[in-house]
Every structure is written in structure tokens, then in C-alpha cells.
Amino acid sequence: MPSMPMSRCLRPVVLTGLVAATAMLGGCDTLRSTFGPSKKPPDEFAVLTKAPLVLPPDFTLRPPEPGAPSRVETDPRQKAATTLGASTASSSAGGTTVAEEDFLKLAGADKVDPNIRQVVNAELSQFIEKDKSFVDTLLFWRKPEPPGTIVNAPAEAQRLRATASAGDPPTTGNTPTIRRRDRALLEGIF
């Protein structure tokens, strides 16, 4: 009896081992909760901590009014300011600290042009006018059609009266007609 190569003998053993390992891992609860349909994503609303519920020491307190700020929870902006080290004692009347005002002065924020919005709009309109021909070429790739002839309304009214008094139909004589161009294959779809 000829002997089989070692690789052919090991194939069923390796295949059986892989099937068994897959079955065991499929039954693993930790693997299922990590990769399976019961995976729990992080809760995006659990970022801010809420103040704990506490019983007031004095039960004669009045109930809270709707829309009134909570006495227990702090303002997130105030909490962030104290976390970053800004003290309310060093802030000026504008709501900025002295250090922030010094920084803004060094940056030149006190010399801002009050008409900056008009300056920016004027500069942008120049760029738009320069690029308009390129954009028009992309959007309106056909050459514009020549304007049609304008109908002289008083002369047309006189012609219609004359044909009506003669008893002829309004289409007799030199009647102005509108001739539309043929549409392209995909024109009008969009």
C-alpha cells in the first residue's frame, strides 16, 4: 500500500480542529458580546455627569418652578472656566479675563476694521467675476441662442383688426410664428 504524503494526512485533522475551534468560540459569551449582534456601543449622551438626587435637609422648601435654573446643577460654561483655571474675580466687565484682553491686544484685535465684511464681500465678488466665464463654460456649454424677433404689438393688433374686418382668419397674411429648436436627448430630464 503506497504511503500518503504527510500534508494530505494532516488536512482532515487541521480541518476538524478549525471547525471545533470555531464552534467553541461561537459559544463564547464574551466573543459574542464583542463582535456579535449584542454589541453595545458607547452612549453618546453619557458625557455630562448629572448631579445626584439628594433629599433636602429642610422639607419646607418650595417645589422648583418650571423653567427656573436648577440650584444643584452648575452651569457647564462656568464649570469649564473653573476647570481651565479662569477665575471669575479676574474677569473684566466684558466677560473676558485680563490675560485674554492682553492677548487680544497683542494680536491686534483692538484695531479691527469695522467695515471688514464689506471689504471681504468686495474682494470675493472680484474673484467670482473673474471665474464666471469658466463656470459659465461648464454650466452652459452651448452657445446662447440669438434672441428672436420682437413682435410689434400695435402693428400686430392693427393687422388682426384688418383681417377680422375682411372676414379672413387671423392666420392669413404675414403671421409671426414661434419656431422652437429641437431638444437634445437628455434635455429636460434634470
pLDDT digits (tens, 9 = 90+) for 156-176: 899 999 999 999 988 888 887
Within a domain: residue 56? no
Q: Is residue 102 part of a domain?
A: yes
pTM: 0.23
- From residue 10, alpha-carbon distances to 6, 14, 22, 24, 178 in Å are 6, 6, 18, 21, 86
Other CB atoms within 10 A of residue 18 CB: 10
End-to-end CA distance of the chain: 76
Whether residue 143 lies inside any domain: the answer is no
Is residue 116 pLDDT above 80, yes or no? yes
Structural domain contains residue 155: no
What sign does the CA torsion over 118, 120, 125, 126 have? positive
Do the beta carbons of residue 102 and residue 113 sit within 8 Å?
Answer: no
Query: What confidence tens digit (pLDDT) does each residue in 4-18 have?
Result: 555 666 778 888 888
- The reply to whether 26 falls in a domain is no
Instruction: Name the most confidently modeled range: 85-89, 133-137, 161-165.
Output: 161-165
**186 in a domain, yes or no?**
no
Overall domain count for the chain:
1
Residue 170 lies in a domain: no
Q: How far apart are CA 104 and CA 97, in angstroms?
A: 11
Range(s) of the domain holding residue 105: 76-111
Mean pLDDT across the chain, nearest whole number?
75
Tell whether the torsion through CA atoms of 155, 161, 164 and 166 is positive or negative: negative
